Structure 1
Amino acid sequence: MVYKSITWWKLFHRYYYKCSLNKRHAVVWYRDPDTVVTNMLDNPDFADGFDVCPYIELKRSDGTRKWSDVMSGNYSWQQATKIYENDPSTKGAMLVPIILGSDKTTVSVANGNTEYYPLYLSIGNVHNNIRCAHCNAVIPIGFLAIPKSDRKYDNDPNFRRFKKKLYHASITAILQSLKPAMSTPVVRRCPDGYYRRVMYDLAAYIADYPEQIYLAGTVQDWCPKCTAPQNNLDAAAGPRSREHTEALLEEFAGDGRILWDNYGIDDGVLPFTHNFPQADIHVMLTSDLLHQVIKGTFKDHLVEWVYDYLVITHGDAQGNVIMDNIDRRLAATPAFPGLRCFPHGRRFKQWTGDSSKALMKIYLAAVASYLPDEMMECLQAFLDFCYLTRRQDIEEQTLSSINLALRRFHHYRAIFIQTGVCDDFSLSRQHSLVHYHKNIILFGAPGGLCSSITESQHITAVKRPWRRSRHYEALSQMLLINQRLDKLAGLTVDFVDHGLLPITHWPPMEVDPFDIERDDEGPSDGERLLGKVTLAKTRNRSFPRYLTEIVEVINFGNLKYLTRQFLYEYLNNTLAGDLELDDLPRITSKIDIFNSAVAEFYAPSDVAGIRGMRQERIRCTNSWQGAHRKDCVFVVMDKDKPGLKGMDVVRTMLLFSFKYEGTTYPCALVQWYKRYGRSPDSKTVFGAHPLPHKFDYRYSLDCFSSMYVNQDADHHAHEIIF
């Protein structure tokens, strides 16, 4: 049983001198990664989402390829082939790609800027949706040291080099127990209960850009994946590799300045992968959607460039007036599950990755009519790239669309140079977009190897344990809490496997506490299905119970006829036509009115459960945060038609149910929106006049006569609306 395997925490010290009279030591806590991987392989909860060998997935319709999980990529194929060619005795062994991730995090700025540096481990055999759901598939295996010094040593090259060496030496020491199984197979039990010979391989490393520089041993502002020069990252360049770096170090041994200036290599740092067979840190570095795309290219580059453009074009005073109106547009976004309310636009300090994701969903419409067409095309191309790369399954056609979106983005972003906003595009995080194509082919969908996984894990592994501690030398308490949490998780898996707990007995995923929609959407651990809608468990007790009385309350006289017409058509499977009210079934039961319903559907590209299921709450109430709320929803009218052509957009006006001959019929009274045109508009526009200063987003659906369907509301919407 998994919970019986105890993974104790250990530590080692490394002493260093801050100055000639002051000796300090760096403490690194870790636990045996081989035991962690053994427990992970023996987890029966992964049985339905576990790959025992590399595979190629082809579409049945046209035979084109599809990439999703790590084992569907070329990397696992290449490594398995390489291992077998080097040692034919490994034939039949199962490859276990080791995925590492690390990210420094701060738990308290007020209490002395308390920082921790956790190191996480996962395996590539586990499917991406399980890894993203954190079901014990991402485990902290170490806490790296963070050496401190006086300010006068902050820019000391010797001290900075020491920190890098300590970083790589620590990871090397932590991973030593995995090294024997990288050359000789070991027997391990797998989630399906079978014993297999397995071989470990360092496959991927999840990190943001500054840490990628640390890992690759390259110079700041150089690319850790290719040899493009620092001042022209868009130039044609070849890939970096372990062999290439070793050849340069041998050729220019003792002349570190040439390596630093001409090749972007720090000869004083040897990546930890050089101590392990077949590992190449330049290949291992994965695409980071959170820091490279969302925080980097979108928030830090494009959003700031738009503001700079408005100031350059209109001057400081008028530019700020326009930005204020853009903020009011952001604040006017109607309530919808997963959309964040920005009551003051972008003007708030606690800006997180979730804030950037939320802004991305509504930003394009907010800046419409204030930017030239080329700039709008640039933003749209970038959003297309972002949403396409975030999909759970990436087909060959999707990959072509990603490449096209990137070419469009590179073409239209020239407008920022032409208008004087920036001088060039030699920006490391923006340059990283060119490597997504290759990384998808190697490792599958980028969403399964994104730093948002490790950042979310900080809550369970670092922040919550720190809050429970006494805050003084808290790390030892945090380690004990993590150890106990792992035991409880293993015990839960064992109980579920033996039928002592239901399969859905897992704690809910963490949500952003500043998101007002946090109760309206989230992952679901239910069984996979296309979709279903369930009314709330409790009715609204302030409403009357009979149709005649309800008609008077909601002031909709046709409700009685429509309800009986619906019942007739449902029972007879035919249209009611011109039947009179007396010819329709009579409803005599009491009516239950509900304030909400829950829609559950398959949406693996968004935050979902381990089976790809997601749930969103549809609200239809007269009192929600001081006003009424009537949500909009999609209704499938013809499942054979693609995209929005097979759907209509409606607004829920009443959710209710009634009984007829012992059967309960859930219903919704909706307002249908009329569609204009047969294809998406080539240009998104906004109203000609600025919004009033005190406009309330809760009345947006009532005040405007026409609206756009937002394809960027979430990743699932981007897939189905076209």
Structure 2
Amino acid sequence: MPRGRGRRQRDTTLQRIPCPWPGCPARLRSNGGVTNHVNSIHRSSNVVAPNGGPELPPASPDEDHNSDDFNGHDEPPPSPPPSPEPPRGEKNYHPFLNARPCDEQGTFLPDGSPPPPRRPAAQDDWTPFEDEVQFKLADFLFRKVQMSSTNIDALLEMWALSMMKHDDLGPFRDYKEIYEAIDSTSVGDAPWKCMVTEPFDTSADAPEWAKRRYEVWYRDPDVVVSNILDNPDMDGAFDTTPYVRVDAQGKRRWSDFMSANFAWRHCDRIYKDDPSTDGAMYTPIFFGADKTTVSVATGDVEYHPGYISIGNPHNNMRRAHRSTVMPFVFLAIPKSDRKYDNDPAFRSFKKKLYHASLAAVLASLKPGMRKPVVRRCPDGHFRRVIYDFGPFIADYPEQVVLAGIVQGWCAKCTALSTNLDGHICGRRERGLTEELIAGFSPDVLWDAYGIDADIVPFTHDFPRADIYEMLSSDLLHQIIKGSFKDHLVTWVGEYLYLAHSKAEADNLMDEIDRRYAHCDLFCFLAQILCVYLPAIKGLVPDGIVQAISSFLDFCYLVRREDFDEDTLDAVDAAVVSFHHRREVFRTLDVRTDVPGGSSAFSLPRQHSMVHYRYGIEECGAPGGVCSSITESRHITAVKKPWRRSSRFEALSQMLLTNQRLDKLAAARVDFVERGMLPSTYAPPVADPDDGDDDGGPLDVPRVEGNVVLARTRERRYPRYLDELAKYIKLPTFATLLAAFLADQLQSDSHSDDSFEVEPSLLDSTPISVFHSAITTFYAPSDPSGVRGMRRERIRCTPSWRKKNSRRDCAFAVEDQDKPGFRGMSVVRVKLLFSFDHDGVYYPCALVEWFKKVGRSPDPCTGMWIVEPELRGKKRVVTILHLDSLLRGAHLIPVYGTKNIPVGFPYYHSLDAFNAFHVNKYADHHTNEIAF
């Protein structure tokens, strides 16, 4: 949407079965840049406000509205039309495994054949529910509000009493009837089962852990994958065929998994091994596993869930959890007395049990990995599907177990554990490992190659499966939690205690904490990653700041949703820059080499950075295979079901809860597809418990950008110009508004003649004031809806959360022809309002301006620095059309070497400091535009 400065632009029962692999587990094996589509804007109406701008009085307690629908006008203006998807370049599809539609028997259909009806049920058939009310009530009570059975019965009793007046009953008798209806749902059914292992050792002197039988709860993965494939919710966001995408400049691009090398290479191999697979659909199966703790107070209650997905859906579908990432196994967690904590036999047993459990559970997929099986796809067509093992999402400790390597070694390459910061060595491969195991003793394998010869990966008996190839990059645990929080932040603290006395270091650490908390509260951000750099600047040497700046640049580069060759070169350059700059920690003796031992930077998590380019070329954008997906899935699949349980034998209750949630989700999709429910009847795109009402994912058609005022005007403010100017203590408000309107009229006339508007002309014009506006923009690299859309609230309220004022900052676009922040400025929103003139609606923002310091970003932090724009000693204030704003901006003060006074209120920052960093790490979209 064009913008201009000041310009208007327009189950079933859980089943228990015996373990199919007697002797589990030891005897199982014997072979030991964003473009801003805006118009340029000019600054012809700079008027200085007295005292630095308006001081708005406190609002009444009910004035802080948080409406989700925004228009800001008594008669809402029409919504902007959806923007067309940008050209994504030419796609060259795989010539053989090209996903030709077939019938249920696997016979290929003629080109252009329509898909058969998905289900023959009538459009008024709500089975197993009686009607729409029953389904919506069951969905609301069980999924959305998660009401307890006792409260459900109380609600239904009141409902029945009210209906008795009309000789009628409520929709259900009690909670049991609701649960029975959900359990009777056939779509999305994948019942849980249980395997029980045989004891490892039954001798009298065997340890207790060896005598036990262990339960592994699981769902048939073939059934789960079939349900994922038969989900019309993914239609339009689902790739049936691997492809190579080339942009208009002839450069290769990588984004979703099917655009990367792994899928294409495996399709070549499948077709070469079996030409009868011609016309089949390639379906790579994703896995994820990670332990999670649900309660510390009751004795570290842990579960080890495993998740399954497929690589055909686009990454945004997987991140949005639209029934594409499903729990399919809860692995056993052997525990014993503390004396066995460091027992090699017990550790080896746990690893073997892990792999044997996965191998047994996944056995039903093996036939579909050898010969195609017929499955229905999201578009309704049947296809001959060939399964394959794709990426396994896991943090580093889990990767160590999966790869059967020694702790401290790399699971992807053969670099020595003592020199992981050197050059990339040869990649680990299944064939190489088997040759080494055949040629060397276990001790040599352990010490020289980092291989645990006792472990045979679960992939051993599956076609084309190589665990080393499957292990994906992990942004959350490798980079953010590992390299940043555990390493760099810790090293900064260690430096302070090396360079200063304990008392001085304690004081500096407290100052960093105050700065971080000050930044965090000021912008309501939650991640230290976003605000850490300005917090340490001035308190540590610039070399440390620059090293962390290079690291953060790498973090934000690899978080992108789409990559081209230039971006991959930038990723490599960021790694080289970080490796060069982190030497400051060695120079300052924070990190030291061990003589004859490990290098100072021989750290597996930091070493993983060198594999990211290859990982992107293999699997596409790392955000689609990140453990943040499974971490967030823990909430809905493990933690919330555990809280809903009785805590006694909770696992079976949790599994039943998961099963019911899956059935409700599948029923919703079925009813929407049959036209019985509107398409807007969808699950939330964000966790409703996150407490963030300032923005989040949004499932709306894509638009280039849209900024609208809140639905409800604030009724305490005067409606007319003179009274409003007095109320906000801005005598020049009428002059500012007249200058703004003149600028708008001149723009509409397409004339070079200057326009003048007398302020008195607006005396009788009603003005509506608002406390927030919503920006909607395309940001697929951030948490967003399935179409890549995200929303953000810009607040301008004198009473934020019933306490202090909040006046947010925003990016205002000045020149679309200049890249990034060079074509923008930062403004602080002082008032949001609207008015009508000659039938034209004008949504506006009264703003203070900040100007750039220098012609380039700060060389230390890589961030632009701005300062308030002054005329004399007054801050420059103007009125902008709301279309001039792009999105919110986050400013962090330039603290320097001085300490923040204890108790200094964060909400005075924009008035108290003289210069500010434009935080390009606030989120990924900001990072792309604020460089």
So what's the TM-score if we normalise by structure 1? 0.93
* 2:439 alignment counterpart: 251
For residues 561-620 of structure 1, give each alpha carbon's deviation from its aligned partner in whole angstroms, at most 9, with x where no partner exists.
Answer: 333443444345258986544388646343221111111110011111111111111000
| Cα distance in 1 for residues equivalent to 2:518 and 2:352 | 51
Partner amino acid for 2:485?
K
Greater displacement, 491-500 / 199-208: 491-500
For residues 44-71 of structure 1, give each alpha carbon's deviation from its aligned partner in whole angstroms, at most 9, with x where no partner exists.
Answer: 11112111111112221x2111111101
Partner amino acid for 2:467?
I
Q: 634, 641, 649: which one pairs with 2:826?
A: 649
* 2:769 alignment counterpart: 593
* 2:4 alignment counterpart: none
Partner amino acid for 1:674?
K
Alpha-carbon distance, 1:681 to partner = 2.2
* 1:692 alignment counterpart: 901
Whether 1:522 and 2:696 are equivalent positions in the alignment is yes
3-state DSSP of counterpart to 2:697 = strand
* 2:278 alignment counterpart: 91
* 1:311 alignment counterpart: 497
Alpha-carbon distance, 1:334 to partner = 7.2
For residues 408-462 of structure 1, give each alpha carbon's deviation from its aligned partner in whole angstroms, at most 9, with x where no partner exists.
Answer: 1111111111211122111111111111111010001111100010000001000
Counterparts of 1:221-620 in structure 2, within 5 Å, are 221-236=408-423, 237-252=425-440, 255-333=441-519, 339-340=525-526, 358-423=527-592, 424-510=600-686, 518-572=692-746, 573-574=748-749, 579-582=755-758, 586=762, 588-620=764-796
Whether 1:42 and 2:230 are equivalent positions in the alignment is yes
* 2:38 alignment counterpart: none
**Residues 320 and 785, structure 2, Cα contact 8 Å, conserved in 1:** yes
Counterparts of 1:123-202 in structure 2, within 5 Å, are 123-202=310-389
| Cα distance in 1 for residues equivalent to 2:761 and 2:565 | 52
3-state DSSP of counterpart to 1:141 = strand
Distance change (3 Å), C-alpha of 1:472 and 1:520 = same
* 1:53 alignment counterpart: 241
Whether 1:633 and 2:810 are equivalent positions in the alignment is yes
* 2:81 alignment counterpart: none
Partner amino acid for 1:124?
G
Alpha-carbon distance, 1:80 to partner = 0.3
**Residues 568 and 585, structure 1, Cα contact 8 Å, conserved in 2:** no
Q: Quick one: percent identity of the two aligned structures?
A: 54
**Residues 528 and 612, structure 1, Cα contact 8 Å, conserved in 2:** yes
For residues 248-283 of structure 1, give each alpha carbon's deviation from its aligned partner in whole angstroms, at most 9, with x where no partner exists.
Answer: 11223xx21111111111111100111100011001
* 1:15 alignment counterpart: 198
Partner amino acid for 2:226?
T
* 2:849 alignment counterpart: 672
3-state DSSP of counterpart to 1:4 = coil
* 1:343 alignment counterpart: none
| Cα distance in 1 for residues equivalent to 2:570 and 2:263 | 25
For residues 270-307 of structure 1, give each alpha carbon's deviation from its aligned partner in whole angstroms, at most 9, with x where no partner exists.
Answer: 00111100011001000000111000010000001011
| Cα distance in 1 for residues equivalent to 2:229 and 2:745 | 52
**Residues 181 and 198, structure 1, Cα contact 8 Å, conserved in 2:** yes
**Residues 46 and 191, structure 1, Cα contact 8 Å, conserved in 2:** yes
Counterparts of 1:98-113 in structure 2, within 5 Å, are 98-113=285-300
Greater displacement, 675-684 / 627-636: 675-684
Alpha-carbon distance, 1:376 to partner = 1.8
| Cα distance in 1 for residues equivalent to 2:275 and 2:206 | 54
Structure 1, unpaired ranges of 5+: 341-357
**Residues 287 and 391, structure 2, Cα contact 8 Å, conserved in 1:** yes
* 2:51 alignment counterpart: none
Partner amino acid for 1:703?
A
3-state DSSP of counterpart to 1:25 = coil
| Cα distance in 2 for residues equivalent to 1:178 and 1:704 | 62
So what's the TM-score if we normalise by structure 2? 0.73
Higher RCO by CA contacts (8 Å cutoff, separation 6 or greater): 2
**Residues 195 and 217, structure 2, Cα contact 8 Å, conserved in 1:** yes
| Cα distance in 2 for residues equivalent to 1:571 and 1:577 | 11
* 1:345 alignment counterpart: none
Greater displacement, 460-469 / 4-13: 4-13
For residues 179-202 of structure 1, give each alpha carbon's deviation from its aligned partner in whole angstroms, at most 9, with x where no partner exists.
Answer: 111110111111112221111100
Partner amino acid for 1:695?
F
| Cα distance in 1 for residues equivalent to 2:459 and 2:854 | 57
3-state DSSP of counterpart to 1:300 = helix
* 2:91 alignment counterpart: none
Partner amino acid for 1:11?
C
**Residues 600 and 614, structure 1, Cα contact 8 Å, conserved in 2:** yes
For residues 129-176 of structure 1, give each alpha carbon's deviation from its aligned partner in whole angstroms, at most 9, with x where no partner exists.
Answer: 111111111000111111111112222222211111110111111111
Pairwise CA RMSD of aligned residues?
Answer: 2.0
* 2:52 alignment counterpart: none
Partner amino acid for 1:614?
R
Distance change (3 Å), C-alpha of 1:152 and 1:583 = closer
* 1:701 alignment counterpart: 910
| Cα distance in 2 for residues equivalent to 1:324 and 1:203 | 46
| Cα distance in 1 for residues equivalent to 2:706 and 2:372 | 46
Structure 2, unpaired ranges of 5+: 1-117, 120-185, 593-599, 862-893
Distance change (3 Å), C-alpha of 1:583 and 1:228 = closer
3-state DSSP of counterpart to 1:191 = coil
Distance change (3 Å), C-alpha of 1:710 and 1:587 = same
Larger radius of gyration: 2
**Residues 739 and 756, structure 2, Cα contact 8 Å, conserved in 1:** no
**Residues 522 and 907, structure 2, Cα contact 8 Å, conserved in 1:** no
**Residues 652 and 669, structure 1, Cα contact 8 Å, conserved in 2:** yes
**Residues 10 and 29, structure 1, Cα contact 8 Å, conserved in 2:** yes
**Residues 656 and 667, structure 1, Cα contact 8 Å, conserved in 2:** yes
3-state DSSP of counterpart to 1:287 = coil
For residues 662-690 of structure 1, give each alpha carbon's deviation from its aligned partner in whole angstroms, at most 9, with x where no partner exists.
Answer: 55432111112122322212234633422
For residues 83-133 of structure 1, give each alpha carbon's deviation from its aligned partner in whole angstroms, at most 9, with x where no partner exists.
Answer: 001111111211101100001000001112111111101111111111111
| Cα distance in 2 for residues equivalent to 1:546 and 1:211 | 65
**Residues 765 and 837, structure 2, Cα contact 8 Å, conserved in 1:** yes
For residues 348-405 of structure 1, give each alpha carbon's deviation from its aligned partner in whole angstroms, at most 9, with x where no partner exists.
Answer: xxxxxxxxxx111111111112222322221111000001000111121111111011
Partner amino acid for 1:592?
S
**Residues 737 and 759, structure 2, Cα contact 8 Å, conserved in 1:** no
Distance change (3 Å), C-alpha of 1:567 and 1:491 = farther
Partner amino acid for 1:241?
E
Greater displacement, 653-662 / 89-98: 653-662
| Cα distance in 2 for residues equivalent to 1:694 and 1:538 | 35
Alignment coverage as a number of residue pairs: 700
